[in-house]
Structure 1
């Protein structure tokens, strides 16, 4: 068994927090609650980072010191020269998830990863467990950091990125979920194989008593009990249907819901609690999509506006196209990240009426797709005005159909950094533009969302 990191007060100089930000601040708060001091290092600390470190009495690091344990932020590459030098002087490099597992070994955890859908599935698993009377809290790669919830949760439901999973050795969730494995983060991992290997680390330390929930076509070596979820069936491990697929609330992806059901069941059985299909069904019916992830943000008659601004990976965009009701006015743009467009052409066939391209590489992406498109020229308008123009063109296109209506879908393929701070701001600007358009066109008898 891997020994826990030495975070006792007497060993404070032996512990280094490398990289602050959201995850690192979670580590700072956790070590402070444990009455443990540590040194810290960040190449570009924010004012919030500096204030928090000073508040807890943590000192800036001497990277020439021989630290025993280095807790590295997920954004720091595993082969960063500083980390390699620290390791050469005897340091063990771990991350937030490994620290949580070692410091709170009795806390039951559900670990969730995947190329797409992991955040939505994480939130849904926690909601299902709460519907069954379990004090489940979500965190990790989504807010809040994992270490912020480990002392308040009966069960921690943890979203885990490949960056986090690179650094786990003894992290052994009672239930692990892999939503899917596609292509992403090649700039960090170097190859699809290395990226998938990092994802598979989620089951590395699991035992025969644990559950691993995976897609129907995924098989991998593990000691855990493997359960394949079926996106067409909302059922338990014994085949019992919890809810008809047609009753699933709008915006919840069937694959995420199917995986979440099995994960919730696995944790309930781990806790020795009754698995009540009626409670799980009630949890599903009460669930809502995570804001910004295939979220219906406005509606007027048969026309609706769906914000999936986070959909930049091929598998996520494909899922959005499959889930959206036709006809679709598909909004694409941003900075091209080299996504494979072939699956998207297939998913769009017979469903997409018009592509509306915007942003730095929108026209280039639209041209590669080979679908009918219109372009809002990049550089002529602000991000807000660009989105207003995009929404207007999309709505007009769908209202000109017979019958009028359909889905205005923001599933942009490209990253947001050409016109917006991040995907969340892009989604917020889209939401504002959609609601403004609906308000301007609604009759007195129509109440816009």
Structure 2
């Protein structure tokens, strides 16, 4: 007898994650169909990498793409309310996130899952560096670097360390981290989530399938995480409470009550990065990494691109790129790490429906002057009126020029926009690279 046709899976969204999911599904024996609203011409490089025999539905998210399908895999960034996905659910077809597909393929490998509004990428990279320092085969990815499905194809791994966004967690139905890390919560992506409660609920899905033996690493200084009930054991990090499992005491970072390393041994700038280090150290310790490997990796770790990275210096003025500061919470946290009244702060871009009022106190305390760019300039000006002198610059080039002209020795010019970049740039990396180019050109002429 002829064997029946293998099941058909649909991948929605053909970026890096979608292409990796298609390859993983094909390896698992599925026939694969891919769907993207982009045209075949613009996706030609991606289409060439797909498994042989892959079906394509391009140029539109036509609900008919789910015909004959038994599983739908959704790439990050594809809206959950897409009619095509609704059509699949109405037919009883399982709809999952790409990271959920990868987790199912790697369920026997311990997973550290990291989420939060700010600091996810730094903490994910820190935990990855710590595990590698210990000699473990470590698969770092998810919302950064390698897609989770690409890691499932690559293996074998001793441990997985994944950054997980709210978009990814929305589509997870079995994902279970041995150690889940929830760093903080501040309003973000409210152009995608209907309200803050929905955004928070998506983040909390990280812990939905944990068991008693699993661990939740939580921020004792953040109300949303400090009060969170989880199925497994809770462990806390804090900048304020010396009794926390990971804390700072007199300039010394302590882990489970014992000194780990001095703060001045870290190469990372700012209090927010000390919190990131504490979270990473605690997660690694609960995973079973030896303390010497934790301390060595933390001391060697340098700032990631576009995250409070010094890109130029001249005349006693440092130019610092925090283009990844794409929401109010990130900018407020980052400002706290600089001398009071010494920051020439470049703000603005695409506002994403945020309330900018929470910036006001931090700007009043830390900023010497504010330089506004992009679509959100009017909203920012209204929210910050009277908190600090404000310059309406329009473009990043003009803002860097004016800040460089007014900054005094000992002060910093900080790009930490509290906004997305898509109104004027391809992404936050493009914005940060342009800031660095402008800063270095000006520094060379000072």
Match of 1:6 in 2: none
2:180 counterpart SS class: strand
1:95 shift after superposition: 1.1
Indicate yes or no: 2:310 matched with 1:296. yes
CA deviation vs aligned residue, 1:350-403 (integer Å, no higher than 9, x gap) = 321111122333254134212201222x3xxxxxxx43332222122122xxxx
CA deviation vs aligned residue, 1:251-292 (integer Å, no higher than 9, x gap) = 36111111111111122x2xxx5x22x321211111012211
Which ranges of structure 2 fall in alignment gaps of 5 or more residues? 58-63, 241-246
Of 140, 143, 165, the residue aligned with 1:141 is 143
Of 368, 384, 387, the residue aligned with 2:396 is 387
Of 238, 248, 251, the residue aligned with 2:266 is 248
1:334 shift after superposition: 1.8
1:196 counterpart SS class: helix
2:413 counterpart SS class: strand
Of 351, 369, 375, the residue aligned with 2:392 is 375
Match of 2:113 in 1: 111
Q: TM-score scaled to structure 1, two decimals?
A: 0.87
Of 344, 353, 368, the residue aligned with 2:359 is 344
Instruction: Provide closer, same or farther for how the CA distance between residues 281 and 27 of structure 1 changes in structure 2, counting only shifts above 3 A.
Output: same
Q: Is the 8 A contact 1:115 1:181 kept in 2?
A: yes
Q: Is the 8 A contact 2:190 2:354 kept in 1?
A: no
Aligned residue pair count: 414
Match of 2:210 in 1: 206
Of 334, 344, 358, the residue aligned with 2:349 is 334
Q: Which region of structure 1 is more displaced relative to structure 2, 55-64 or 195-204?
A: 55-64
Q: Which region of structure 1 is more displaced relative to structure 2, 326-335 or 194-203?
A: 326-335
Of 292, 306, 315, the residue aligned with 2:329 is 315
Instruction: Provide closer, same or farther for how the CA distance between residues 238 and 335 of structure 1 changes in structure 2, counting only shifts above 3 A.
Output: closer
CA distance in 2, matches of 1:35, 1:147: 15
Indicate yes or no: 2:427 matched with 1:422. yes
1:408 counterpart SS class: strand
Q: Is the 8 A contact 1:128 1:280 kept in 2?
A: yes
Q: Is the 8 A contact 1:13 1:39 kept in 2?
A: no
Instruction: Provide closer, same or farther for how the CA distance between residues 302 and 36 of structure 1 changes in structure 2, counting only shifts above 3 A.
Output: same
1:192 shift after superposition: 1.3
Q: Is the 8 A contact 2:76 2:168 kept in 1?
A: yes
CA distance in 1, matches of 2:425, 2:360: 26
1:348 shift after superposition: 2.1
CA deviation vs aligned residue, 1:152-204 (integer Å, no higher than 9, x gap) = 33211101111110111210011100010121222322121111111000000
Match of 2:54 in 1: 58
Match of 1:79 in 2: 81
Q: Specify which structure has the higher proportion of strand.
A: 2
CA distance in 2, matches of 1:122, 1:192: 24
Matching of residues 159-198 of structure 1 within 5 Å: 159-198=163-202
1:349 shift after superposition: 2.6
Which ranges of structure 1 fall in alignment gaps of 5 or more residues? 1-8, 379-385, 442-449
1:106 shift after superposition: 0.7
Indicate yes or no: 2:11 matched with 1:17. yes
Match of 1:3 in 2: none
Matching of residues 434-449 of structure 1 within 5 Å: 434-441=439-446
1:440 shift after superposition: 1.6
Of 413, 425, 429, the residue aligned with 1:408 is 413
2:10 counterpart SS class: strand
CA distance in 2, matches of 1:127, 1:369: 39
CA deviation vs aligned residue, 1:52-97 (integer Å, no higher than 9, x gap) = 23x5321126625232211111222223221121122221111112
1:309 shift after superposition: 1.0
Q: Which region of structure 1 is more displaced relative to structure 2, 153-162 or 75-84?
A: 75-84
CA deviation vs aligned residue, 1:334-359 (integer Å, no higher than 9, x gap) = 23333333321111233211111223
2:279 counterpart SS class: helix
1:25 shift after superposition: 1.1
Instruction: Provide closer, same or farther for how the CA distance between residues 338 and 36 of structure 1 changes in structure 2, counting only shifts above 3 A.
Output: closer
Q: Is the 8 A contact 2:139 2:151 kept in 1?
A: yes
Of 209, 220, 226, the residue aligned with 2:228 is 220
Q: Is the 8 A contact 2:66 2:84 kept in 1?
A: no
CA distance in 1, matches of 2:164, 2:100: 11
CA distance in 2, matches of 1:206, 1:11: 36
Q: Which region of structure 1 is more displaced relative to structure 2, 177-186 or 330-339?
A: 330-339
Match of 1:124 in 2: 126
